[in-house]
Amino acid sequence: MNIEKYQIKSGEKLEVFEFVSEGPQGRIVKMVQYSPTNYKDLYNLGFGDKNAETGFVDDTAISNNNDSEKVLATVVATLYAFTDKHPEALIYATGSTKSRTRLYRMGITKYLDEAMNDFTIWGELDESWEEFKKDVEYIGFFVKRKNV
Amino acid sequence: MDIKDLNMKKAPIVVIDKSLDFFNDKVLFPEKLAKANEMLKKVGLPKMKEAL
């Protein structure tokens, strides 16, 4: 996505990423983690704000830093970095709230053509999966990188 | 390379910060991970061959 992103830092395994959102609420440290699930090559994408004082990471925080598109683009950038290192990985993502899941869906929809070049994307329905379609309210998403 | 060039790249330039390796064995989003494992058990995976 040719839109602005934040600079990303990561550990050597490229499974934990950090970047700093900048806006009217100040500098907010964001963390992204790809955690292995109980199943081989399946990872969960976690994303939230790091509390500067406690170090606690909160995935329900609403930062209102007027940069949601830039933040989302940066999270997608971590997806490229992670799947460069783990090309076989399947990644599950869902929002911590319905509105955040909707935000993910809108982000995917907005850049769907480009995203489909690089990733296969599925949407989670009640108890099944389908290839991602615009304007469907999904519970979660699975993504897999195409040719790395 | 300036920030404009950086932003044009799909695969980002990642600065390695070894302090973040501290989190490798820690689950930062345990509720989300539990939810993912529960979903995988209940719903399973998409049909890969049809979609890939």
CATH code for the domain in which residue A50 is found: 3.40.630
A138: containing domain: 9-145
Average pLDDT, chain A: 89
CA distance linking residue A15 with residue A86, whole number of Å: 9
DSSP B2-52: -HHHHHH-SSPPEEE-GGGGGGTTS-S-HHHHHHHHHHHHHT----HHHH-
Q: Residue A136 pLDDT more than 50?
A: yes
- Chains A, B: CB contacts within 8 A come to 135
CB spacing of B28 vs A118 below 8 angstroms? no
Q: Residue B31 pLDDT more than 80?
A: yes
Tally of structural domains, chain A: 1
Q: Which of B21, B23, B52 sits opposite A120 (nearest CB)?
A: B52
Q: How many CB atoms lie within 10 A of CB A148?
A: 12
Q: Residue A119 pLDDT more than 90?
A: yes
pLDDT band at B9; cut points 50, 70, 90: low
Q: Does A29 map to a domain?
A: yes
pLDDT of residue B5: 56
Element holding A64 (H helix, E strand): none
pLDDT of residue B1: 47
Q: Residue B10 pLDDT more than 70?
A: no
pLDDT of residue B52: 47
pLDDT of residue B50: 47
The helix/strand/coil state of A113 is helix
pLDDT of residue A2: 66
DSSP-derived secondary structure letter, A38: S
Integer angstrom CA distances of residue A37 from A11, A43, A147, B39: 19, 5, 23, 11
pLDDT in tens, A9-30: 999 999 999 999 999 999 999 9
pLDDT band at A99; cut points 50, 70, 90: confident
CA distance linking residue B3 with residue A39, whole number of Å: 38
Helices A68-85, A98-110: axis angle to 10 degrees equals: 80
Q: Please state the length of chain A.
A: 148
Q: Residue A45 pLDDT more than 50?
A: yes
Q: Does A4 map to a domain?
A: no
Q: Which of A10, A74, A81 sits opposite B11 (nearest CB)?
A: A81
CA distance linking residue A23 with residue A44, whole number of Å: 28
pLDDT mean over A61-81: 88
CA distance linking residue A112 with residue B44, whole number of Å: 24
Alpha-helical regions (H) of chain A? 68-85, 98-110, 112-118
CB spacing of B8 vs A80 below 8 angstroms? no
Q: What is the pTM of this model?
A: 0.88
Q: Does A57 map to a domain?
A: yes
Contacts of A92 in chain B (CB under 8 A): 36, 39-40
Q: Which of A59, A90, A122 sits opposite B29 (nearest CB)?
A: A59
Structure-model confidence comparison of residues A116 and A130, the more confident one: A130
pLDDT of residue B51: 45
pLDDT in tens, A46-56: 999 998 888 78
Q: Does A3 map to a domain?
A: no
CA distance linking residue A50 with residue A29, whole number of Å: 5
Q: Does A2 map to a domain?
A: no
By the CB < 8 Å criterion, does A96 face chain B?
yes
Written as six digits, the tokens of B19 are 């302090």
**A37: Cβ–Cβ under 8 A, 6 or more apart, which residues?**
A43, A44, A92, B33, B36, B37, B40
**Residue pair A92/B45 in contact by the 8 Å Cβ criterion:** no
